[in-house]
Structure 1
Amino acid sequence: MEKSNKEPKIAAPVAESKAQTISADTKVPTADHAAKPSAAEPGVKNAAKPIKKADSNMNKAVSSNSQPISKWPIRLGFSLCFIIASTALGASYWLYTQSVLLKSELASKQLQTQQINGTVNTSLSYAKAKIESLEKQQQNNANAYQELTATKSTIEQLQTQVNALAQRSPNHWMASEANYLVRMASRKIWLESDLLTAVQLLESADERIAAMQNPALLPIRKALSQDIAELKSIKQLDISSHILALDNLIAKLDSLPLNANKTLAPTPVSTDAQLSSDVSDWQANLSKSWQAFSSSLVTIRKRTTDLEPLLSPEQQWYLTENIKNRLLQAQSALQHKDNQHFQQSLAMAKQWLSQYFDLHQSNTLETIETINKLAEIKLTPIAHKQLIATPLLEQLVTFGDISTSGEPTL
């Protein structure tokens, strides 16, 4: 505290000395003027003495305060600045390296995340596919179970029928044979239109039913007799003979002569072409001479019918093959009882034969006559829909009886 009180005391005389020096500079003349005082100013010399004392005191105070200053604070400041700068650079470098490490770590984390997402997506897709396959397999198993259940029920029904058949008499197999014969007769009727064979098959079935010697089967025999009578009442055509006749026509076509152009007979020339010796008949002689000359030079003939051009060998072959094709179509229509196509094919073949073949030959006329006879055939489809004995025999084979009940009795 004493030091602090002394310092302001020292500063006060310094300030006063400064103020005195400023006032001395402004008001007091220089040293040269002081050396030469004028007579008009006698008190200047006494006033300069205290000023000199003040200057000497001030110089002493200044000399006492001007001590040498040490350099260690500056070095300390530079050291602190260097340390701070180094620390800042080190911190910056550390932060930079940490940011690089963080970025690389973040990139690796993102890559791992993408890989994990890909793995998860693959697992999910595989799981979905597996679930779908399991669902399909479950559906297939359900369908298979349903089919197995249906098959099992069918097997049980068949087993029941087999057990029922095992308890029947041996005559049951004769009923099955009769049923088979009736079904074969049905196929002969509607697929081959062979009524004769169908009647024979039905008669054989009736013989099997009669051999069973069961009065309860009389309705079946009655139905068989009705079917046989109905089939016999249908007008039967000898299809085989007509087909053979068409085959003979096809074989004869290659030997039939074509209709060639015939040379017309020459116009008869007048026999009265002799010239007379009489001079007065010169006009008649001239006319006769002119007629003889013109008849030998130019021949004029008249034709009232159409003139058909000659056919080339290739055209003749095509014509023959087309007629054969029409006759083959007539055979197919004959087998299928198709009267319309049968008549059309025969009519076209007859037209070509009459137009392009020689009608003066006996072979051509015989061929056309055979076609006319075949055209007189009228093909009618079989109107018989179903055999009466078929449902009765089916009931007999299935249930062993023709009654309405399903209990086997044979």
Structure 2
Amino acid sequence: MSELSPMLNNESAAPAAVAATPAKPAARTGSGVMLGMMALLIALASAALVGWFFYVWQPQLVALQQQQQTLQNQQQSQTALFQSKQEELQQEMQQQLVNVVADWNNKQLEQLQSTQQEIARLQTQLDQQSGNVKGWQLLEVEYFLRLAEQKLFLEQNVSGVVQVLELAEQRLKQMQDASLVAVREAIGQDKHMLSELNTPDMHQLHLTLSALRQQSLTLPLRQSERAMDNQTEEEITEDAADWQSNLGLYWRNFWRGLVQVRASLPEDGVSLTAEQQISVRNTLTQQLLLAELAAMQHNQAVYAAAIQQSADSLQRYFAATEPAVQQMADDLVALSALQVSLPLLAPLKSPQLFEAYRQGTAEAELSL
């Protein structure tokens, strides 16, 4: 029995050892459950954090959407206002052009009728003076003096008047008649009076306005589209300990890509379509043309208004920072300072003296 007891003890100890072996898998299963619970808790915490951020930023997102809608409504209203103002301005410009052209045509018709009457009268006198050399020369001088009066009061062309008076003076010199010295002195006085008038150079003014009209077709327009400032995104670290900063960077990058904010600018309300761009350029061209027509008629009020409207259109719709636009603005400022109207013109003395000479000559011939 003593020999069997150790064997029994060994046999009884073996199952105990075998029974203790399955304890290791149970410990591994418990650790897996703990890791799963921790992952679930982290996922729930992340979802709760994202929900909390969305709840906090939801009012601001709604406010930004409302602000964007308000800006769109303002832009639409400004576009409608621009179109209505543009139509009113075009109608006003067309009416002014019609009035100026009609006035110019009337004056041209009056001048043509007066010239035809003068030619008919001179033709009659020429028929009567055929064979008389002095009579022909006197008729030529009379024609030049009458033409000078017409250019002065109908055309208001001071430089043309001076040229015609010089032609009459040359004819009187060729005649070498002492009885016409008073008429020559009167012509000299008329030329001196005209030289003291402060009259603009109409030829240079015409060239300047014509060049500005051509330039207005290619000037750069001012548009509201602007490139946003490119901001460099912050890099996200790979360290798990920086999860809070990485989450904040993700959130900021998300909102930066969704909404871009910049300061409002005065030209944000200007966004011209292709038709509106053509209309703006045509309006500026018409205003410059109206200024040129008013200068030709020496109408200071219409000329100043047309130049001012041209400067306003240039400042409102064209890119002020471009050199070409700045140069045109400087030219318009210089043109606005010009006085295209003529001062009160006194009648010429030489035609009156020459007419008195002709009447005296005719009376002397009749007395003979």
Class of the TM-score when normalised by the shorter of the 2 chains: 0.5 to 0.7
Comparing both structures, which one devotes a greater share of its residues to helix?
A: 2
Greater RCO (Cα-Cα under 8 Å, separation 6 or more): 2
Residue 330 in 1 paired to residue 330 in 2? no
Residue in structure 1 matched with residue 146 of structure 2 by the alignment:
183
Residue in structure 1 matched with residue 352 of structure 2 by the alignment:
391
Aligned equivalent of 1:192, options 134, 155, 159? 155
CA distance in 1 between partners of 2:287 and 2:303 (Å): 9
Residue in structure 1 matched with residue 165 of structure 2 by the alignment:
202
Q: 1:309 deviation in Å?
A: 4.0
Residue in structure 2 matched with residue 303 of structure 1 by the alignment:
264
Task: Report if the CA contact (8 A) 2:224-2:267 is conserved.
Answer: no
| TM-score (normalised: structure 2) | 0.57
Which of 1 and 2 has greater Rg? 1
CA distance in 2 between partners of 1:299 and 1:307 (Å): 15
CA distance in 1 between partners of 2:262 and 2:177 (Å): 91
What whole-Å deviation, never above 9, does each CA across 1:344-380 have from its counterpart, x for those lacking one?
1011112112211223333333322322222221223
Residue in structure 1 matched with residue 308 of structure 2 by the alignment:
347
| TM-score (normalised: structure 1) | 0.52
Aligned equivalent of 1:358, options 311, 319, 324? 319
Residue in structure 1 matched with residue 111 of structure 2 by the alignment:
none
SS of 1:173's equivalent in the other structure is helix
What whole-Å deviation, never above 9, does each CA across 1:280-320 have from its counterpart, x for those lacking one?
x6644443343233323433333243412422322222222
Amino acid corresponding to residue 167 of structure 2 in structure 1? S
SS of 1:379's equivalent in the other structure is coil
Cα distance, 1:331–1:297 mapped onto 2, change above 3 Å:
closer
How many matched pairs? 242
Percent identity (aligned): 23
Task: Report if the CA contact (8 A) 1:176-1:397 is conserved.
Answer: no
Task: Report if the CA contact (8 A) 2:222-2:267 is conserved.
Answer: no
Please, which runs of 5 or more residues in structure 2 have no aligned partner?
1-124
Alignment of 1:1-400 (within 5 A): 170-266=133-229, 268-269=231-232, 271=234, 273-275=235-237, 277=239, 279=241, 283-400=244-361
Q: 1:227 deviation in Å?
A: 0.7
CA distance in 2 between partners of 1:296 and 1:309 (Å): 25
Cα distance, 1:205–1:297 mapped onto 2, change above 3 Å:
closer
Q: 1:276 deviation in Å?
A: 7.7
SS of 1:350's equivalent in the other structure is helix
Q: 1:198 deviation in Å?
A: 1.5
CA distance in 2 between partners of 1:297 and 1:175 (Å): 91
CA distance in 2 between partners of 1:212 and 1:293 (Å): 99
Q: 1:191 deviation in Å?
A: 2.2
Task: Report if the CA contact (8 A) 1:267-1:301 is conserved.
Answer: no
Cα distance, 1:289–1:205 mapped onto 2, change above 3 Å:
closer
Q: 1:192 deviation in Å?
A: 2.2
